[in-house]
Every structure is written in C-alpha cells, then in structure tokens.
Structure 1
Amino acid sequence: MESLITFSDVLKVSNVVRNIAFSLNPADYISFRQINKKVYHDHLTGATDKNYWLHRVKCLGLEPEPGYRLPSDVKVNAANIGVTCTKFDPRDPKVAYKLFYRLLHPFVKRLYHNDVANFFPEEYNEPLTQAKIIKVLEKYINSYSNDWPYHRKVQENLKIFKELFTTSVIRELDLNFDKKNFSYCSQFVEVLLLLDHEVSAVDFFKSKNEFPESIKLPEELFDENDELRYDQLELALDTFTQFLNEKISITDQLFQDRYPVIVLYTENFVQDHLIPYFQIQISSSNTPDAKNKRLMSLPTIYSKLSSHFVKKLRDNVNAGTSYQRFVSDFIQLYLEPEIQKFFDTMVQDFTTTTEDLLKDYEEQSQRKQKAKDEALFESLKNSNMTNEELLDGKTNFLKSFTKIFKINNNTLKSQAEQDLEVSYTLQKMNNKLQNITSLVSLDLCYKIIQACREHMEKIYLFKDVEVFETVVKLKCQEMYKILMFLLSEKHIKLGFETALQLLKDYDANETKLASLSPNGTFDDDNKVEPLVQFTELINIGDIILQMLSIFYNNELIAKGIIDKNKDIFNDVVHTKKVFETMLDDYVANGLNIGIDKLMDQVEFTFNTMQFPDDFNPDPKDASRREIAPSKCAIANVELLSEHCFLLTGATDKGTIDVFQQEIGERFFDEVVKNIKKHLISEDGAVFLIADLNYYHDFISKKLKQKNITPFFLGLKSVGQLYLISGKDSKELGKLICDVGKFQGVFTQEEIYELVQRRTDWFKVRKDVEKVMYGLGVSDCVIC
C-alpha cells in the first residue's frame, strides 16, 4: 500500500512552497516563512524573499532608487508616510515595506475584523490627519491583493468606513457653514478634496449658495415701447455681480486654490439664472406687433454683460487669472441660441425695413404725382385764358398731333375740352420730366446704406466669439448682397428705366410746339430738359455707387469680412460688379437716347430758325446785313453749350469724352444736312461761313475735343464752295477736285453734292463738270 503525501512532504518542494507564499498577505507570509527551518532557510530566503517584498512594494507605487535610505531626521507616522516615503532601494525592498507594515497593518487588521470603533489612535484626532490615513490605507491595502478574499473584505470595510467618515465631515461642514465659520470649514473642504469627494464638496457649496428668490431683480428691462432701459439693465447686472462676488469670496476662503469650484459654480449660475433672465426679458413684449425689437437690443445687453458684469467680478484665488475669460466663454456658450436668432433677425429686419422704405417712397411719389396732376388739371380748367385764345394759339398744333394725343375729331367733345386735355397731357409730361431726378432718391439710398451699416455693426460685435467668427462674416456678406439687390431691383433700376422711357417718349418738336404762345413765340428755354435731368440722375447714381464702394472698403475689406486677395470669386464681389455694370449700362443707354433727343432739338432748331434768306439774301439787303452768325447758329451753339458739359463732375473723364465726341460728330452731320436743305448764293456765302466759323470756334476752343476738330475745319472749307464767283467756275471745279482742302472729311462725291446747293448751279454746272471729269453732259454722244 502506497504511503500518503503529508503537508511536511509538500513543504519540501520549493515550487509549491513559493506558490503558497506568494498567495499570502504580508502577515500570513511572515508566519508561513517561520513554519520550520527548511522553509525559512531553503525555500523562502534570498532572491525568493526579496521578490515577494518587491512585489508588495510595487503595489504601493514607490519609485525604485538604488542605495536610497530614508533621512534620519524625517519623522514618519501613519498620516504622512504616503508623502514622506515615496522611494525604496530595490536591493532591499523589505526595509521600505516594513515601515509601512508597522504603521498601517494595525488599521488593516481592525478593518478586516470590522473593528472601527475608536478607529484612530489619540494622536490622530484631527479630521485632516484621519483623512490622510484613510487615503494612504486605500493605496496600502493594494499590497494585500495577492490574498484576494482578505483584500476584498478589507477594501469593502474601508469603503464603508470612508463613507461614514465623509458623512460626518459634511455634517460638521454644514454646521460651521451656517455659523459662517468659513476658515474652519476650509479644513473640512480639504478633507473632502483629499478623499476624492470633489463632487460632494461642489454639491455642498452649490446647495448652500443657491440664487435666492428673495433677490429683487428688475421685472422689466424694457419700457412700454420695447426700448431698452439702461438704468434697469445696469441695476440687474449690479445685482448679479454683487451676488457672484460674495460667492467668490466664500469660495476663496473654503477652497482656496485647491479646486476651482467657482468655475463650475459660475457656469451653473450663468446657465440657470443669468442667461434665462435675459432670455425672458428679450422674448416677452409689450407690443405684440413689434418685430423682434427687444431681440435687437442683444448687442447692447451682450456688451454690458462684458463691461458691467464680467469686468466687475473680483479677482480670486480659486479660479486664478483666467476667471473672467471663463465667465465670458460661459455667457457666449449659453447665449448662443439667442445670438444665432439675433443674426437671422437682423438680416430679416434689414430686408423687411428696406423693402418697406422703398415701397413707401414709391407710393408717396405716386401720390405726389397724382396730386400734382389733379392740381394741374384744375389749374388749367380754371385758367383765365379764354377758349378763343386756346383755339387761336393751338389749333394748328392740335390738328397736326391729334394722333399722338389720341384726340378723336369725331367725338362729341368740344374743341375747348380737347384743348384742355392736350394742355393737361403736355404739362403732365413736362412735370414728369422735371421729376426725373426724384426717381432715384439719394437721401433714401443714404438712409438705407446707413441702416445696413448699423445692422452690420451690431452683428460684427460678436466677431470675437470664436464659434461665430465665420457666421459673422457670412451674415455681413449676406446683408451687403441684400443691400445691393434691393437698391438695384427695387429702386435704382426702376428709376432709371422710368427715366429712359421718359427720354424715349420725349419729342423736341412736340414740346416746342406745345410751348407756343398766342403771339407765336416760344416760352421755354433752349434745353433738352430730360437730358439735363438725366445727367443729374447720373450724378446721383455715381454718388450712390461711390457710397457703396466706400461702404464696401470700410466695412467689408477693412474689417476682414472680405479678403480682397482671396475672395475674388465671392458672391459679394460678383454682386458688386453686376451692380456697377447695370449702372454703367443705364448711363450708356440714357446718354445715347439723350444724344438722339438733343439732335432732334438741333434739327428742330434748324427747321424752325434757319430761314431761306439766311444764306440766300435779297441782293438789295445783303450789303446792309451785318456779317455775323445767324440766330439759328447762335441758338444751336447755345444748345450744345447747355448740354455738352452736363456730365462734368458726374462721371469719369472717359465717359465725358465719349459723350462730347458723339455729340460733336452727330452735330456735324446735322450741319451738313442743314446745308443741303438750303440754297446758298454768293452774297449769302459769307453768312454761311460766319455760321461755320462759329461752329468751329465752339468745337475747337470750348469743347476742345481734338478728334472731331478736323470735321469742322473741313466744314469751314465748304463755305468756299459758295463764295467763288460763278464767273470763276473753273476755279470752283478745281476746288472740288482738291479733296485735301477739306481735311479729308468729305469725298469728292459729297463735295459735289454740297456744291449743287449754289443758287447758280445750273449756270456753272457745265464748266465745273468739265474741270472735274474733262467733259460736260452736252459733250456726250450716243451712237
């Protein structure tokens, strides 16, 4: 029968002994090692024993340092061992552990048996000292972890004891806090922080420092018109500031710089009390129809929160130098929904307000025009001019223009009623022409641009809020695009299109005849009124464009809302260019139409003031006439003088030059047409030359457009065609052939056409053509 293996036999096997030893807690290990000499000397000595204690020391979290010895002057006890003994000599870990074991194992032993009555010896009667022992025990019992049942029981009992201890500390803290013994409370707070009960400390502080309902805050920050009351705003902020400063003082006494409880407390205060108060104030309204008027006071409130609240919070030890920045961040964070709503509201408010302004202006303009038309009609109806006078002065005109003014001669209206209708229509047209400059209101555009700037500046106040930096830029860009769109589509475009239509509808002949007085003279001055008015409109448009450019540079570029180097494809830049192009197109179209109307007036002047005997006088009277420009020439030059310089100061020099050159070229054509309409005698040639010289002097000396001066030099030479005597017809033929004398302006065919206006053309024609072609018509033979 085989012999049984005894425990003594087991203890002879080194591996078995080591495995048993390494599963024992330090107290049991010491006992097991002493079970017999063989175990002590053969199995659990030297490296094996060293490794066991090395594992235990590592569980304590000590730092190895070869040759380390605890200074002899350091007094170690159970409360301070955790901070005084932080290193050990890895060659002899048992020495380091032995010190911990001697001071702390008695506490572990009592915890194991749940003997916690009078747990701390008399010398450890201070709560902070006791907390330090609990703290070091939490670390020390980890060295018992290889004996899991023992370790778990000790750990659970320590946890229960710690909770009881913490509860008693909070109770003492509560009692002393109510007595305002804050310096003594500070010790209990330190205990809680040491035991990792920061949450308990913070919760206690919050529970004792709730924002009381008894604090009186202004019930209304806004008056009955929803206007912000600054005195009430500052009163509310002062109340909040005073309350929070008191808590800062208490926090510094209780927590000092050990734990930043005031930061967490302030965040809750801002979230639960400060921001909700202002949200309620902003969201309520005394005037239901007010369009978010209170919300638009948010920038002022936000600014005051910074200057009147944050800046007045006292410096504190607990949060350090960054406290005010933290508070600002909390305000921004919890005010974020209102700020976002404010951005949207500002854009919407600007859009709506601007649309209303433009609509009101349009309606007022229409009402004013209607009132003027009605007053005009009554004035004409009640005028002292008799029906006979109306008939005598206007009958011929009415017969010529019945179609234009839609007068049906077959109607039952009396002639007087028809005259009244025509007079009313003409005067109404003249009034509209006079009102062209009011089609685009500089004052209104200025107000709208200023409103955009003010709205944008309110949004821009939030540029330093990091989360809104991009949003601020986008909202400001959006507002500028809305500004450009509304000014363009709702005002400027309508104004210029109306002005262009008035220009197109204007007829110089009709207007002149409409101003015909009973004595056969013209009542008005020598102006193409719509062109004069349109150039004023151009000036207004140019000023508006400059204001928008200044606004763009000062508000968008200078403030970094638009980066001119990076945002070349930005919608704002594109919108601005579209606006400028639109205005340029209207100016160009208007000037082209205006030039057409100016030339119509020039033609009208030629037709009505250039008489047949101007260039073909009676020989009896020719010698007595003064050689001077005709009334027609003077009138036309005066007309040109009135209009050629209208754009000066209203637009760029390039546009002015093109405008003046176009007028000069078109006037040249009208002069040539006028010459072709009249017969010119030798006696009348000097008077034609006087007119042509007068035109040339205006072009070369006053208009000073070098590109068109040669045209009028050529015209001066045309006068020579009529000055040469009919007896010198050969000389006349040579002059016609010498195209160079006409500055290259006319071809020989054109000169030939002009010379045919000589009164003696049929007499000199044969000789002239012989010189020109080498033969006359009579020399031709048909075979």
Structure 2
Amino acid sequence: MSAFKRVNVKGGISRQSILAPLREAQIVSSKPVFPAEILSTILDYLPVPGQLRFARVSKRMREMVYDDTRWVQRLQLMGCWDEKEARKSAEAARRKRSETLQSIHEEEAKRAGIGVNGTANGTNGSDNPEGPSVTLFDAAIEAAEHEGKTNGGPLKVAPPNEDGFDAIETSPRGRPAAYKSQDTASRIDIFAHVYSLRGFARQEYGKVYGALAPFYLDAIRCENHTHATVFRTYRDPTQQARMLFNISKFSNSDMSEGWQKRKEKFDALVGAFEMAVSKEFEQALDAGDVAGKMRKYAHVLAYLNGGHSGVELFISKSSIIGSRYRLGNALDCLNRKGPGSFSTEESYSFFSNVSTAFNEQVGIIDQIFPTSVNAIVPFVQRVGKAVISDYLTTLYDEAHRTNIESYLRAVSATCDQFLEMTRFLRPTSASGDDFYETLDEVIATIFEPHIDLYLKEELEFFKKRSSAEVNNWEKQLSEQDASMQSMFMSNVNRQADKRDFLTSFKKVVMMPVNVLPTFPMSSPFGGKPATAKALVNGEALATTEISGSQTSTRPSSPGVINGTTLSVNRPTTELPEPPTTELAAKAAIMNSRLEGIRSLFSIEVALNLVHTAKSSIERAAVFVKVGGHFASDARLQCELVFISLLQTLGTRHIKAGFDQAVDHLSKYKPKEVDEQQGSGVTPLVTFLELVNVGDLIQQMLDVFYEQELITTKLSDRNDFLNPAVKEKKRFEQMLDERVAAGLNKGIEVLMAEVEYLNATSQKPQDFNPGAASGGDPDVMDIGPSQAAIQVIETVSSHTRMLVGSTDKNMLDVFNQEVGMRLFAALCKHLKRQRISVNGSLKLISDMNLYFTYIQTLKNEDLLQFFKALRELSQIYLVDPADAKELATIIADGDRFHGIFRAEEVYQFAERRADWYQIKSKVERAMYGIGCMLQRFFLIQVEASYSVVPQYADPSEHEYSRLYFYPLASTVERVSQESPERLDHNDTPPSIVPP
C-alpha cells in the first residue's frame, strides 16, 4: 500500500493557482430579444422612406423590409396586382430555369466526356469539389432577367460585405433618380408599366412611388389647391384629371400614421377640381354645346372618377326629367267614357312621348360620354322612377279609389303598353346587354308595389261579377215562377167566388186582401202579363245579347251562335183561357214548369261568365311577359280565375239547374198534365234540350281552356297535380253525374208516358175483337195498333234527341236502358190484356213493330229480349183445339232464348181469352193426370215465388229491373188488380215434362 502513487487526472482543476477557475469562467449575456412579428407589424405603419432607413440597420432588418408580401399588399391596395398573371409568370420563369440548368449540365458533361448523371468511373459528378454549382433560384440571374425586362439593361449585383451590410449605390450629386427624370406623359401612364412578378413587388412599387409620391405629398402640404404641383405641371384638364386619378389610386397604398388626414386633404383637392369641371359641364349643357365643351368635360369627369358626377348632372338636367309633366296627365285616362272605362289612347300617348324623348337623350349620351361610361343604366333607372312610376302610381291610386274595373284595366293595359314601349327604346353604344337587363329590373321595380293588390282585386272582381250574373238569373227564374203561379191560380179564385156568393161574401168581409175582383186590378205581377203568357207557351220575349244586360224576362237558349250575339226570336201565340179548377191550375203550373226545364240554366249566362273570365285571364297574363316571380304569380292567378269559373258555372248554375230539372221530372204525372200537341213537348224532350245546352257549355269550356290556358302556356294539362286540371275533371264528373241522374229520371218519366199511352190508347177490342158490344169478330185490322204506334213515336223521338250531342258510350247506355224499361212496360201491359186468337194478329204486328224499332238502336243484347217477346206473342195464335201444342210451346225454354222461364210463359198464357176452356187440357198435357209428383211441383212453384225479390223501385237492383220487376212483381200486381186472378193453388208448377 505504501508503494501506491497518485495519478493526475487529465482535465482536472489545476491546483497551481486559485485564479484558474476564474480564468476559465465565461460571462453569458441574458438580454431579452424583441419578437420579429412585432417588428413586422410596426413596419406597416412606417412611411416608405422610413422603411428603407430601417433596412440599413442589419441584414435581418433588410430581409424583413424586403419581404415580397409587404409590397404585394401595397400593389393590391392600388389594384395593380394580378395573382393569375403573377402565377403565370412564375411558372414561365420556373420552366425557363429548368431548361437553363438542363442545358448547363449537358454542356459540362460534353466537355468532361462523361454522362450527365455521373463521372467516367461511375461515381457521382457531385463528388468533384472543383465542379461548378448553380443553385435552383439564382438571385443574380433572376435580377438580371427582370432588369432586362423592365429597364433594358443588366443589373449589377454587388457582393455582400462581411459585416452583413450591402453596399448601396447612390446617384451622383446633381443628377435626379431614374423616375424623376421621366417626362410628364410617362407619369400619366405609369400604371400601364407595372407588372405582377413574384419576388419583384418592391421594385414595381418603387416605380409608382417614384412617379407619383412627389405630387401626392405636395398636394397634401399646399394650402391653396390651385398652387398644387400637379396643376402647375399639367395644364390640360384631361391630363390633370388622369393624373389626379393616378394619385388617388396611389393614395390607397398609404398605410402610415396619419393616412386618414392625408386622404381627406387629397379628396378635398379632387373635389374642388371636380366641382370646377362640373360647372363648366353644366354651362355647356345649358348652352347646348354638345359636340364641344359638353363632350370635353364629360371625358374629363370620366377620367377623374368614372364620370358618375357628369352622368348625374346630365340626368338631372335632362329634358325628359325636367318636363315630365308635359308628357301626359294620368287622370286624363279616367272617366272619359263613363264609370268603369279606361282610355288607352291617353296612356298610349304618354308612353309614346316617353319613348321619343328617351331616344333623343340617348343620342346625346352617345355624343358626349366615352364608351367606358355606361350612362344608360342610371338614366333608365331615373326615368323609370321619376317619370313612369310617378305617372302609374297616380293613375292606379285614383282608379282604385273610384272604380275597380277601371283599376284592373288600367294596370293591365299600362303594363302591356310599357312592355311594348321597351321594344322601341334605343340603347347606347356602350350599354351592351346590361341595357335590357336594366329594363327588366326597372319594370319589376315599378310594378312590384302593385302586382299583389292587382291580382287579388282581379280574382275578387271576377267572383263578384260571376256571382251577380248567376244571382240575376236565379232572381229572374223565381220571379217568373211566382208570376206564373199567380196568374194560373187567380182565375180559380174568381170562378170559385162566382159559384158561391156566400163564400165570396165571407172572404170579402174576413179577408179582403184575397179578393180578386173581376175588373182589372194592379198586382205585384201586373206589370208583366206577357211574361206569364210567354212562360206558359214556352216563348222568349226579347233578343238576348251577350255584350249587354239581359233585358228579357226569360232568357232562352240560342238557336244560332255567331260568336258575340246569341238571339232567339220565337212567335208568340194566343194564350187559351186560364184553368178554372184548382186541379187544372196545378196541372197547368206543372206543365209550365216542365216546359221551363230548358231555361233552368242558360248558355247566355255561361257565355257571359266565359267572356268575363277571358277578360280577367288576358289582363293577368300580361304580367307573364315581365318574367321572374311575376310570371309564376300571374299563371297561378289565371288558373284561379278558371277554377272560379268552373265552380260558379258548375256548382251554382249547371248543377242547380239539373237538380231543379230532376225535381220537376220527379213530380210529373201524365194523368194530371194535359197532353201537348206534337211529340216534342214532353218532359224528357225538354230535359234533353237541357242536356244539349249542358254539353254545349262543356264544349265551350274545353275550347276556352285549350285556347286561353294551354295554348298560351299558362297551364299544363299533363300535370295531374295542377289545381286547374283537377277542378276541370271535377266539373266534368259533376256534369256526367247530373246528366245521368236526369236521364234516369227522364227515362222513368218516359216509361210513365208509355204506360199512360198504353192505358189510354189501347182499346179492348184491339187484342180481343169480340169483346166490344156489337163488334164483328170476323172483321179486324191486322196492322199494328194505334197505341203501339204512339209508343214507338214517343220513344223514338226521345232517343233521337241525344244523337250527335252526347258521347257514343253514353248514348248506347241510354238506349239500352230505354229498351229494357220498354220491355218491362210491355210485359206489364200484356199482363193486363185479354187476347183472343183473332186479336193475336194485331199483337204480333205490335211486337214486330217494337222489334223493328229496337233493330234501329243496333244493340244485339237488347234485341234478344224483343225476339223473345215476339216469340211470346205466338202463344196466343195457337187454336184452342191444339192445347197440347201450346203446352209444348210453353215448356220449350230455348224458344225464348232463356229470357222467359216456363213459369213466366205460363203466366202470359193465362191472359188468353179462352184460357178457362183450355186450361185443363194444357195442364193435362204438361203434367199428366194423377201424377204423384204434381203436388211436389206445386210446392216448388210456391217456394220459387216466395223468394222472388219485390223491388218497389226498378232502379234499386240491376237484375230486378231487367228480370224480376217486369215479370214476377208485375204479375203479382196485375193479378191483384185483375178480377180474373187465379187462386194460389191454380198457379202452375215448374214446367218439367213427365
């Protein structure tokens, strides 16, 4: 251990001196560093000379000042920087540098005898320390290119000093800077030589600063505006204006402290100059010097600030604005021809004067203002607001206050004339497409305050007018009905008073107001005696014109339609004596009501409503030309007018008329109504005339919808959600339902008439010649009976009424229904007759006549029923001695085509005049004597009759109407009425041959 020696550690503290640690210690400075972001923000508030002095402080300060984004911002404030152009130039420079580097590498490789990407021994060429190197962004090359582009010469690049400061070249004493030596013309066009180049924004801004900053700084320092350097340097007003515009543009880049005050001072100088030029322009305008001073100073103002002040001054001094009251007076359009009128001549004259004056001013604008000034837009706006809008507002307010119809005509007519006037307005050479867009905007602005009120009033006006038209019609009908009843019942009261003096005396004493004296006396309907006559005879008194008010007391359907006037001239006949009994009076009233069915709704009323709707739609459709939301609102309004037309004409007029007609038909009783001369004066005939009128009205509406809404593209028929299309379908459905209900009731009335004719015209000796007392059964007429002829004439005359006026499908259904009910009526009629063998010939003739008529209807299904009826008439021709053959005919179901069952044929056979003589023989031939199954068959027949439905109304069930009602039900009714009714036990069983 004593041999151990200490070893000195290297780097340890030397113990030779105690000051050694102090010598090795270092003093570290901890001064705070100012953030660069704050310095950059402060630079934004320094003027340009201050920023250049700040750049001389250090290299980092210079980089901060020379930052390209700082100067790009200033160029953007002046509107001189185009980012697209800068991007395009940067890409072009990058491509050029790439091409230059590629060519340099290729040349070096050729000189060294190696490839472009390596040395001769395969090593990378970049390992050669002596090889030349070129950076991708060489500032010297870029600067040289920029200098050559801008100044035409290369830029000398000074090498940086070791202390971090660049050497700054200064101009020799006595020689100004480069841009200070420029002439005045180049300063005016300085912005034309500023380019958008990335990395050189400071140099580009320097051009502008050197050319315009002296004038800007001088302008804000001088106290008197006339002493400004810019006015002493440039004497021509045009050059002064252009220079002031450049300086104003340059002042936008002033962001240093106090820029607001400097901007205000400079704007004051520009304002003073603009005021002076405007005075000169106004004097030239008053003097009318268009080609001289007006043109000169208009161009000066255009160079100064775009010419807005000159345009405003010209518009305010324009003759069309100053003398607008001479163009026309709005109130002259009203009350020229009476209430509700509107004079389109006066409004047309106004718009014509406006068009002429406008085109004259446009010619002046083209002469004085340069093409860069679009003076037509503010001119059109001012004319629209100050001239046209003021005129129309006055007109509309007064028209709306006095008469709504005048208001509606005024709004539509003036809008149409305004749109027509715009076609003749001449644009300026500098207007372009903006002129027509401005016209559309002006039209929309003018009519915007009025369109909503107009469309609302248009719809309300149509509703009130159509409602008043229908109310007037209904009032006339009610007055006519009351007058008719009063006239008919008055004579009954007079005759009653004459027959019973005591009763008349009591009525005079107790109720004097009911006494109707024999001498003429005024009454509430005394002023219209001819009206009652016309109602009874079904005549019209006067010609009805669509354009005027309905002066006739009973408008009637027209005979000829000539477009605008519908008239009916019918000769009046002498009225027979009024009825003298209450029953006859009620019958006459019913007859008159049935005759008056055709007047329950009128085609004249329909035409009036259609014409009113046409006028409303045409007025509202004018605003479709305006476009925008005006077009959609106008289309919707036209559809609403058409919907209102359908609702008024359909629900209130046509539907109500059909309902009243059906009600009158339901009360028709042929036995209580006197038979009219001719086959055309029957209830169904008058109803079919009503159907013809309804069909004609529907065709009118179809044509109206097609021409007024579809052709003009106001509505789309293919849009099933369109309210007009839906309402039109509802109207057609309503009309079909009303016509079907009326025809059904009319067919019932027709069949009632047929039954009445059969009951009154069919003589007992027609089918049983021996039944008449003193008649000769051997002498008879084998032709059809008079009753059958009248029935065929009556039915055929009614079925022909629908030919050509209704749809073929509806006509077929109508004819089939008439044929089936006629078949049921004839079966019922046969059950009431007694038919002999000799009378069967006339019956066969009648059945052949009916069959021939049914053939004309061209309905095969219906023809089968009358074939069976014709075959049925053969059972009466069988001689009583051939009873067995009769039983065979009755049991032959195929003979009657399945229409009649054997039980039903048996019932018809019971109507033979000799039935009680051949009954036992027929039954013996059909069932046999002593057959054990006879009682069973009788029970079956009773059960089959018990389940036959008894429908009171043949329309309750289709099959009951076609089969059960005319057969089973009718047989039971006839059996109850006939004294020859068989006992129930005598009812034949189901016919089944033994």
TM-score normalised to structure 2 length: 0.65
Structure 1 position 217, deviation (Å): 2.7
Contact map agreement 1:770 1:776 (CA 8 A) in 2: no
| Cα distance between partner residues in 2 of 1:658 and 1:694 | 22
> Equivalents in 2 of 1:780, 1:248: separation in Å?
115
Give the aligned residue type for 2:298: V
Contact 1:696 1:713 in 2 (8 A): yes
Where in structure 2 are the equivalents of 1:643-662 lying within 5 Å? 643-662=798-817
Secondary structure of 2:803's aligned partner: coil
Judge conservation of contact 1:722–1:755 (CA < 8 Å) in 2.
Answer: yes
Aligned identity (percent) is 26
535-544 or 753-762, which deviates more? 753-762
Give the drift of 1:495.
0.9
SS in 2 for 1:293: helix
CA distance in 2 between counterparts of 1:338 and 1:665 reads: 63
Q: What corresponds to 1:303 in structure 2?
A: 416
* Structure 1: distance between partners of 2:818 and 2:298: 94
Contact 2:363/2:428, CA 8 A, preserved across alignment: yes
The correspondence for 2:477, drawn from 354, 365, 376, is: 365
1:611 aligns with 2:763: yes
Which structure 2 residues correspond to residues 171-250 of structure 1 after superposition, within 5 A? 171-182=279-290, 183-196=292-305, 198-209=307-318, 210-212=321-323, 215=326, 217-218=328-329, 220-222=332-334, 223-225=336-338, 226-250=340-364
Structure 2 counterpart of 1:765, from 919, 923, 935: 919
* 1: CA distance, partners of 2:50 / 2:579: 132
After superposition, what is the alpha-carbon deviation per residue over 1:496-530, rounded to whole angstroms, capped at 9, x for unaligned? 1111111101111222xx45xxxxxxx64456711
Code of the residue aligned with 2:765 in structure 1: it is D
**Alpha-carbon distance in structure 2 between the residues aligned to 1:631 and 1:321:** 87
Are residues 1:68 and 2:178 paired? no
Quick check: 1:124 aligned with 2:234? Answer: yes
Question: Pick from 792, 809, 820: which aligns with 1:637?
Answer: 792
Task: Measure, in 1, the Cα distance between the counterparts of 2:306 and 2:352.
Answer: 34
What secondary structure does 1:563 align onto? Answer: coil
How far does the alpha carbon of each residue in 1:546-567 deviate from its partner, in whole angstroms, 9 at most, with x for none?
Answer: 22122223322333333233x2
Aligned-partner Cα distance in 2 for 1:781–1:104: 137
Q: Distance in 2 between matches of 1:321 and 1:780?
A: 105
Q: Structure 1: state its 5+ residue gaps.
A: 1-14, 34-38, 389-411, 516-522
Cα 1:167–1:433 change in 2 (3 A) is: same
Matched, 1:492 2:654: yes
Looking at structure 2, the residues matched to 555 and 355 of structure 1 have their Cα atoms a distance apart, in angstroms, of 22
Which of 567, 589, 601 is 2:753 aligned to?
601
- Quickly say closer, same or farther: Cα 1:741–1:56, change in 2 above 3 A: closer
The one of 645, 649, 658 aligned to 1:483: 645
Q: Which runs of 5+ in 2 are unaligned?
A: 1-35, 90-145, 154-180, 500-514, 517-576, 937-994
Name the amino acid aligned to 1:423.
A
Tell me how far apart the structure 2 counterparts of residues 250 and 590 of structure 1 sit (CA, whole Å): 75
Contact 1:313–1:324 (8 Å) recurs in 2: no
Matches within 5 A, 1:259-338: 259-285=373-399, 290-307=403-420, 309-320=421-432, 322-338=434-450
CA distance in 2, matches of 1:88, 1:673: 110
1:260/1:419 Cα in 2 relative to 1: closer, same or farther (>3 Å)? same
User: Quick check: 1:162 aligned with 2:274?
Assistant: no
Q: CA deviation at 1:710?
A: 2.0
SS of equivalent residue, structure 2 residue 230: coil
Where 2:332 maps in the other structure, the secondary structure is coil
Q: Does 1:625 align with 2:777?
A: no
In the alignment, is the contact (CA less than 8 A) between 1:190 and 1:255 conserved in 2?
yes
Larger deviation, residues 690-699 vs 215-224:
215-224
Structure 2: which amino acid aligns with 1:715? Answer: L
1:507 equivalent among 669, 694, 699: 669
Q: How does 1:731-770 map to 2 (within 5 A)?
A: 731-770=885-924
Deviations 1:653-694 (A, max 9, x none): 222222222222222222222222222222322232222222
Q: Which protein has the larger Cα radius of gyration, Structure 1 or Structure 2?
A: 2
Q: Deviation digits for residues 7-40 of structure 1, max 9, x if unmatched?
A: xxxxxxxx9xx9999987555678899xxxxx7x
**2:761/2:786 contact within 8 Å kept:** yes
CA contact (8 A) 2:470 2:652 kept: yes
Structure 1 pair 759–98 and aligned structure 2 pair: CA distance change class (3 A): closer
Aligned-partner residue type, residue 694 of structure 1:
L
Deviation at 1:494, TM superposition (A): 1.5
C-alpha displacement at 1:571, in angstroms? 2.4
Residue 482 of structure 1 deviates from its aligned partner by 0.3
Q: Greater helix share, 1 or 2?
A: 1
Which region of structure 1 is more displaced relative to structure 2, 445-454 or 62-71?
A: 62-71
8 Å contact from structure 2 (residues 294, 368) kept in 1: yes
Output one character per residue of 1:308-336: Cα deviation in whole Å (capped at 9) or x when no partner: x3233333234345425523431232122
- C-alpha separation in 1, matches of 2:850 and 2:789: 9
SS of 1:462's partner is helix
**1:664-683, aligned counterparts within 5 Å?**
664-683=819-838
Q: 1:726/1:300 Cα in 2 relative to 1: closer, same or farther (>3 Å)?
A: same
The residue type equivalent to 2:598 in the other structure is T
* CA distances 1:167-192 after superposition (whole Å, capped 9, x unpaired): 33333333333333344234433443
> Structure 1 residues 753, 170: closer, same or farther in 2, change over 3 A?
same
- The question of whether the paired residues in 2 share the 8 Å contact of 1:681 and 1:760 is answered with yes
Q: In structure 1, what is the Cα distance between the partners aligned to 2:201 and 2:589?
A: 114
Match of 2:705 among 537, 546, 552: 552
* Contact map agreement 1:79 1:132 (CA 8 A) in 2: no
Q: What is the alpha-carbon distance in structure 1 between the residues aligned to residue 250 and residue 590 of structure 2?
A: 105
1:299 partner letter: S
Q: Distance in 1 between matches of 2:214 and 2:578?
A: 128
Task: Give the distance between the partners of 1:618 and 1:91, measured in 2 at CA.
Answer: 136
Residue 728 (structure 1) aligns with: 882
Asked if structure 1 preserves the Cα contact closer than 8 Å seen for 2:782 and 2:841, the reply is yes
Counterparts in 2 of 1:74 and 1:272: CA distance versus 1, 3 Å: same
Q: In structure 2, what residue type is equivalent to 1:598?
A: L
SS at match of 1:677: coil
When structure 1 is superposed on structure 2, of 83-92 and 756-765 the one drifting more is: 83-92
- Give the distance between the partners of 1:21 and 1:439, measured in 2 at CA: 96
Asked if the contact 2:218/2:228 (under 8 Å) is kept, the reply is no
Aligned residue runs from structure 1 range 367-382, under 5 A: 367-372=479-484
Deviation at 1:778, TM superposition (A): 12
1:248-294 per-position Cα deviation (integer Å, ceiling 9, x unaligned): 23333332322223311321221122122122123325x97633423
- Matched residue, 2:126: none
CA 1:85–1:354: 2 relative to 1, 3 Å: same
1:747 maps to amino acid: R
Q: CA offsets, 1:695-731, max 9 Å, x none?
A: 222223x333221222222222223322222222222
Change (3 A) 1:427 1:93: closer
Change (3 A) 1:722 1:625: same
* Contact 1:452–1:480 under 8 Å retained in 2: yes
79 and 238 in structure 1: CA distance in 2 versus 1, 3 angstrom threshold: farther
Per the alignment, residue 441 of structure 1 pairs with 602
Alignment root-mean-square deviation, CA: 4.0
Counterpart pick for 1:541 among 674, 690, 694: 694
Distance 1:418 1:526, change over 3 A: closer
Comparing 253-262 with 483-492, which one deviates more in the overlay?
Answer: 253-262
Amino acid aligned to 1:563: D
User: Which residue matches 1:529?
Assistant: 682
C-alpha separation in 1, matches of 2:713 and 2:869: 59
Distance 1:47 1:481, change over 3 A: same
Shift of 1:478: 0.5
